[in-house]
Amino acid sequence: MVEKTYPVSGMHCGHCVASVTEEVSEVPGVTDVKVDLESGQVTVTGDGFADEQIKAAVIEAGYVVGGLPLA
């Protein structure tokens, strides 16, 4: 299992959290998604997913990834 944290901007409420969680959860290989609204970070756990897939899912949800993984 791999855990990566991505900075995401534009999230302001529970609906934002739900949207990002739903889209990122659909990426093949993702087993868990945790969105921290206060810090603007999304932590993704799983195997076999690529950073670009996570970025695309966040964009599909309507938000912006500030950069590739922090950790």
pLDDT, tens only, 14-65: 999 999 999 999 999 999 999 999 999 999 999 999 999 999 999 999 999 9
The gap from C-alpha 52 to its chain's centroid, in whole angstroms, comes to 11
Domains of the chain: 2-65 (3.30.70.100)
* Whole-structure pTM value: 0.90
**pLDDT for res 67:** 61
Grade residue 66 by pLDDT with cuts at 50, 70 and 90: confident
Cα torsion 13, 18, 23, 25: sign: positive
Distance of alpha carbon 49 from alpha carbon 31, whole angstroms = 10
Q: Where are the beta strands (DSSP E) in 1-71?
A: 2-9, 30-36, 41-46, 64-65
DSSP state of 67: S
The one-letter amino acid at 52 = E
